[in-house]
Amino acid sequence: MGSGILFSYPQLATLAGLQGVIVYGFSSSFSLLIFAALVPIIRKKCPQGFVLTEWARQRFGAVAALYLGALTLLTLFLYMVAELSAIGQVINALTGLYGLPILIVECAVTTIYTSLGGFTISFLTDNVQGVMVTCLIVIAAITIGAKVELQPDLIRDSPLLDASLIGWQIIYILPVALLTNQFFLANFWLRAFASRTDKDLWLGIGVASVVIFCVLVLVGLTGLFATWSGAYPGDPPAEDGSVAFFLLLGQLPSWVVGIVVVMVVTLSTAAFDSLQSAMVSSASNDVFRNRLGIWWIRAGVVLIIIPVVVIAIQAPGILQIYLISDLLSAAVIPVLVIGLSERFYFWRGFEVVVGGLGGILTVFVFGTIYYGTAKQGGELILLQQGLYTGDWGAFGAFVAAPAGGVVWGCIALGVRLAFQFLQSRLQGRRFDALDRPVEVQSEYDSFQEETAVTRDEVPMPKVTGKFF
């Protein structure tokens, strides 16, 4: 969790009320259980894998793996932009200082210690982050309870305890968006594959989901408290709802604000170093197949941080950045996970790539038809109007992306099979596109039985799946 949670969760609270806070917290935390469900399956299919793209390469071929790797790097890039944008806005909101120097210092510090300590140091900062989050929640809860005065008239007149259109829409949007987006967060896959056993994985993620849910709901409630105390204006608001948390802090003593600044910077640093390490790992393994020296990779990530900082200074709302990433993943992931089922052994990389791109195209087509102009259809892909538009645009986009992706994937399957059938007839050979492939897993099992080695000692297979 980075400092972005201090913007996005209170902002949604001002839009969708208590219903939105609970749905957002539930979707963000319990979607992590997908790792506990899928990592054991992928471990069995790809024992030496440590990120999702290892399995994708083995199952769908090099082209699909590069495609997925590129999308992973793009997602990490957007999360880095969101994190730096958030901490810059935090510093500006709490101290009035320009955030750029803080961003530069944070990037320099995380680059130095992740270069020296690798992903191990990122695990260590996670523990520090956990302590800081706990302290932040305790201090904020006590001081808000003691110092902030809620106004009964504002609570009574507020619609934030009632159900709303956006509140009902996000019951579908957020689970789909966040569940699929987790697949592109390589820092999560690295942690999941680092677990010793599947039991440890379920236990760790189960505990984490409960704790994260409590933290996120408490952070989101500050949006309600800001509204009910009068710190955040009503309708029409004079301030963006994303700053509701900081407007509430304005009612607290200055020493509390100082502690919050220190803890939020620590929170941001721990999140940002995980994203950096994940980008290094993904670029090295997915793009260059570990053939390029790690220091060249780290140097490349440092260069990428430069545009990250530039964009972060001028970035739109934090919630919008997350939503762009979510819509992309909603189009790509459904056609990818079909390959986990043995029943769809004939599903190949061509379907995955065409389906993912087709899902984004479907969003554009839906937006053009719904709004009546191609310009607004293109803007819907970037969700420029945000999550709350007062209409069904955003909801339709998150329906069109996964549904369109699967439809386009099936169309691609039909085109591929038709082409291969015609090709086999012209070449006078048997049509074998629907033949079940040789199972690589049996080779692993027999190797382990014959040599009595552990899973970690089993060599990687020299197998690459078929793209077409």
Query: To 10 degrees, the CA torsion angle through 374, 173, 192, 184?
Result: 0
Q: pLDDT tens digits for 8-48?
A: 889 889 888 999 999 999 999 999 999 999 999 888 888 77
Percent of the chain with pLDDT over 90: 30
* Widest Cα–Cα separation across the chain: 83
Domains observed in the chain: 5-317 (1.20.1730.10)
d(CA 223, CA 221): 5
Provide the 3-class DSSP secondary structure of residue 350.
helix
Supply angle C-alpha 442, 446, 448, rounded to 5: 115
* Residue 96, token pair as written in the block: 């009035």
* Average pLDDT across the chain, whole number: 85
Q: pLDDT tens digits for 279-338?
A: 988 888 888 888 888 889 989 988 999 999 988 888 666 777 788 888 999 999 999 999
Question: What is the pLDDT, as a whole number, of residue 32?
Answer: 92
Provide the 3-class DSSP secondary structure of residue 425.
helix
Q: How many CB atoms lie within 10 A of CB 430?
A: 7
Query: Has residue 460 got a pLDDT over 60?
Result: no
Lowest mean pLDDT segment, chosen from 104-118, 195-209, 230-244, 299-313: 230-244
Q: For residue 20, which amino acid is it?
A: G
State the pLDDT confidence band at 135, using cuts at 50, 70 and 90.
confident
Cβ–Cβ < 8 Å for 53, 72: yes
Burial class (CB in 10 A: 0-12, 13-18, 19+), 456: exposed
State the pLDDT confidence band at 459, using cuts at 50, 70 and 90.
very low
Cβ–Cβ < 8 Å for 220, 21: yes
**Buried-exposed string 335-347: b where 16+ CB fall within 10 A, e elsewhere:** bbbbbeeeeeebb
Q: Could you write out the DSSP letters of every residue in 109-137?
A: HHHHHHHHHHHHHHHHHHHHHHHHHHHHH
Q: pLDDT tens digits for 65-99?
A: 899 988 889 888 988 988 888 888 888 877 888 88
Lowest mean pLDDT segment, chosen from 48-52, 55-59, 163-167, 343-347: 48-52
R_g of the chain, CA atoms, integer Å? 24
* Residue 380, token pair as written in the block: 């819907």
Q: pLDDT tens digits for 353-403?
A: 999 999 999 999 999 999 999 999 998 888 877 776 678 888 999 999 999
d(CA 71, CA 53): 11
Distance of CA 172 to the CA centre of its chain: 17
